[in-house]
Structure 1
C-alpha cells in the first residue's frame, strides 16, 4: 500500500483509475472518506495494493498465458504441488508452507471472510486481485514467525518488515526451504509468494495468484520466471 497526497482538482475515480484500483477499494482503505465525491486537497490517501500486481511471466513451451492470468494446460499455473520439497521452514506454531497448502484452491476473496485460521489474519478490505502480501503475511502470522504488527499488504512493505526482523535472513534460491518468502519484480509492480520446492528442475511457489478468469486471486502452486528481489528465511 502506498500513500498519495490529494491535489486540487483530483477526483476519487480518477485516482483509482491511475492506480489500477477501484473507488470502493479506496474508500475501504480510507475510512475517513464518507462521501466519494468529497475529497480534500492536501490530505493523504492510502492506495491499496497499487504496486502489488501480478501477471504470469513467460510460459514454458506448450503453454501461453490468457488475459486475466489464467493459463492453458502446460502453462505456468499448477494444480499439484512440487514432486520434492525437502525440510520446510518452521515457526513456533508450525510451517507457513503447510498452512498455505491447507488453503489450496480457495479464492482469496472467500478466504478473507473465513473466521479463524489464515482468513482471520487477512485484512478483508484488500481488493481481491492484490492479496499476495496479505496472504503470505497471514500464513507467517499463523506459523508464529511474525507478529500482527508486521503484517503488510504491500510486497515492498512486507519485504522491509522482514529485513528489520532479526529472525529472518536473506538467502539464495539454492538455500531456500519451503515456506521461505520470495519477493519478485513483475511488469506491473511486485508479487510475493512462498518457495514450495523444486519440480522438474525448476522452482515452484505457492501463494495468492491471479489465475481466475475475472483477474481475482486464488491460492495455487505456480512456476514463474520473474526476477527475484529477495528470499527471506526464518531462523528464529
Structure 2
C-alpha cells in the first residue's frame, strides 16, 4: 500500500503501526537514504500487513477452500483455455511447482523463483514478491519490473507493452489478478474455473500464524485489474 507521510511520522512508528520493520521500509523506499529523515507530504510504499490476502473477513475471503493441484480446475465452455507463456515457460506451471511451500522458506531458496524473490519482505506480505518472481522465471518481465508492492507491480504491467488488461471472463491461467482487500491490496494469478468459480494461485495468508503459503483457492474480493501477457 502507499502512505502519505504526516507531520510527526517516523519510520520506526510506521513500521510498528503496519507490522513491518524499518529495514523493510528502507528497502521498499530506496529514495529514503536516512532512516531518521522523512518528509511530510511524501509517499512511502508500505510492505505491511495490509498489502496481503487476509482470510476470514466477513463476507469475503476464501470460498470453498484450496486445492492442492490443478486437476480439478476446469474452464467453462469457451473459457480459460491454455495459459499464457513467456520465453521461459508458463508462470502458472511455475507457480504450481511450488504449491504448499511457505513463502518464508521459498524466498530463501538459491535458485528459480526463490532466488528471484526479495528476502527482506515480511513473511505475511509476499503476494507481489511471489507473482513477480514467477513472471520473471517465465521471462514475461525483467528484474527491474519485480516489485513486492501490489500497486507498483500493477503499474509496471500497465506500462509494459507486452501486457494488456482483460476482463476476468477472458482470463487465462497465469494472468495477473490484482484485488482490493479492505484498504489494502492482494495479487495472485488466475488458475482457471471450478464449479463456476474463478480459482487463483498465489502466496496467501493461510497459515495459522498469519504467514503466507503458496496455495490455490477461490476468492471473492473486488478485482482491480487482470493483466494478460501478449508477448
Question: Does TM, scored on the shorter chain, surpass 0.5?
Answer: yes
**TM-align CA RMSD:** 2.8
Call closer, same or farther: CA 1:16–1:207 in 2, change over 3 Å: same
Residue in 2 that maps onto 1:202: 197
1:144 aligns with 2:143: no
Aligned to 2:18: 19
Conserved 8 A contact 2:103-2:213: yes
When residues 214 and 230 of structure 1 are mapped into structure 2, their CA distance, relative to the original with a 3 A threshold, is same
1:75 and 1:142 mapped to 2: Cα distance? 30
Q: Distance in 1 between matches of 2:29 and 2:157?
A: 25
What is the CA distance between 1:173 and its match in structure 2?
1.1
Q: From 50, 69, 81, give the equivalent of 1:80.
A: 69
Task: Tell me if 1:49 matches 2:47.
Answer: yes
* Structure 1 segments unaligned to the other structure (5+ residues): 66-70
Q: CA deviation at 1:6?
A: 7.7
**In 1, distance between residues paired with 2:43 and 2:166?**
35
Runs of at least 5 residues in structure 2 that lack an aligned partner in the other structure: 76-80
Shift of 1:22: 3.4
Closer, same or farther in 2 for the Cα pair 1:124/1:41, shift >3 Å?
A: closer
CA displacement at 1:42 relative to structure 2 = 3.3
Q: Pick from 216, 222, 226 the counterpart of residue 217 of structure 2.
A: 222
TM-score (norm 2): 0.84
Tell me if the contact between 2:2 and 2:46 (Cα under 8 Å) persists in the aligned partners: yes
CA distance in 2, matches of 1:27, 1:154: 13
1:153 aligns with 2:148: yes
Q: Report the 3-state secondary structure (helix = DSSP H, G, I; strand = E; otherwise coil) of the residue aligned with 2:152.
A: helix
**Displacement, 1:45?**
8.4
How many residues align structurally? Answer: 222
Give the CA deviation at 1:77. Answer: 3.2
